[in-house]
Structure 1
Amino acid sequence: MSTAPLPDPAHAPLTRLWQAHRPAGPLRPHELKTVYADRWVRFHSLPESKRYAGDEAEYAILLDRYNTVLDELFAGGEVYVVTTEGAFLSEGADLADVPDPADPRTALHPEGTLWTTLDDTADPDPVFHTRWYFYADRRPWRRGCLDPLLRAVADDALPGVFVTDAGLTRIHHPYDGGADVILATPGERDRLRDRHSAWLSKHPKGY
């Protein structure tokens, strides 16, 4: 059996930032909207809240929406790109530390190195206990640099992705159908929300 690699020490600053947060992280990306509800906004990817693109014109729309918000959050700075994958603990989760070249995450995020792990044991049935593996890289933000990854996210082929600035003050979590965005302050959230009000959910809670 191959030996599971250790977390990349280059990600130590990101670990320290998460540990300083209350609650301490890392968090599963879908939890962000609850933990940071006062700074959260959700944008939908397509008109009429359509979930999946049906043709190249709709892919162009959703990529433009993703990149427009990412630009407003991160233009001129560096970002951490984080992808995740999970393995059931009952099946020997250490195997998930060895990247599978055929796995979509490996192919779409080859720069990502192991950052940390997170065990989810909340389910009363231990069969469903999961270890989540977080892979990260740090890069200058450039519009379009994540388009293949974002397209896979939009197709629900690569869930559990987020992008954050080097100070962990703003987070963008794309998913199939839209993106959850965490801003530095409620006021900043409100201004971003108002600029893109046509992309908001009609749900009373913003879902």
Structure 2
Amino acid sequence: MGGTTATTFADDDETQWCANVLETHWRQGTLDCILLAIANDKTGPTMWMDRKTGRIFAPYDGGFDLLVSSPEEVEQLRVRFGDWLSDHPEGL
């Protein structure tokens, strides 16, 4: 497992972004420190991607986004984790 630092990008506002990529094997509890730092807004944007499914998990200080590959998967997750969604009609 090795890390890769990608090119720094600049948008119209001259904000610079630097992407760092590292293959990580998820094991329960091993990333708790970084998840806590993200929840406390002490990191920059962070996300994990599953190579096999293409799913993306993007936590932030107010919750997380989960990007999945199909509307069917969205519905399965809505049924399984419906209690986690807000009262907003779209679950946002």
Q: Shorter-chain TM-score category?
A: 0.7 to 0.9
Distance 1:142 1:198, change over 3 A: same
Counterpart for residue 133 of structure 1: 18
* 1:162 corresponding residue in structure 2: 47
Alpha-carbon distance in structure 2 between the residues aligned to 1:117 and 1:180? 24
Task: Read off the aligned partner of 1:117 and give its amino acid letter.
Answer: T
**RMSD, aligned CA:** 2.1
Which has the greater radius of gyration? 1
- Aligned partner of 1:140: which letter? H
Report 1:56-75 matches (<5 A): none
Displacement, 1:206? Answer: 3.1
- Normalising by structure 2, what TM-score? 0.84
Q: Quick one: distance in 2 between partners of 1:176 and 1:158? A: 9
Residue of 19, 27, 35 corresponding to 1:142: 27
**Over residues 131-152 of structure 1, what are the superposed CA-to-partner deviations in whole Å (9 max), with x where a residue is unaligned?**
2101110022211221100000
Q: Call closer, same or farther: CA 1:147–1:140 in 2, change over 3 Å.
A: same
SS for the counterpart of 1:174 is: strand
| Count of aligned pairs | 92
- As a proportion of its length, which structure holds more helix? 1
Question: Taking CA–CA contacts closer than 8 Å with sequence separation of 6 or more, which of the two structures ends up with the larger relative contact order?
Answer: 1
The equivalent residue for 1:189 is 74
- Secondary structure of 1:153's counterpart equals helix
TM-score by length of 1: 0.40
- How much does 1:168 deviate? 6.5
Amino acid at match of 2:14: H
Q: What is the CA-CA distance between 1:177 and the residue it aligns to?
A: 1.7
| Identity score, percent | 39
Which 4+ runs in 1 deviate beyond 3 A? none
**Aligned equivalents of 1:194, 1:204: Cα separation in 2:** 14
SS in 2 for 1:204: coil
1:170–1:193 CA distance, 2 compared to 1 (3 A): same
Structure 2: which 5+ runs fail to align? none
Unaligned runs of 5+ in 1: 1-9, 11-110, 122-127
Are 2:4 and 1:119 equivalent residues in the alignment?
Answer: no
The alpha carbon displacement at 1:205 in A equals: 3.6
Deviation of 1:186 after TM superposition, in Å, equals 1.1
Specify which structure has the higher proportion of strand.
Answer: 2
Task: Note if contact 1:116-1:135 (Cα within 8 Å) is conserved in structure 2.
Answer: no
Cα-to-partner distance string for 1:154-205 (whole Å, 9 max, x where unaligned): 0011130000012461000001121000012111111012111111022234
How far 1:115 sits from its partner (Å)?
Answer: 2.7
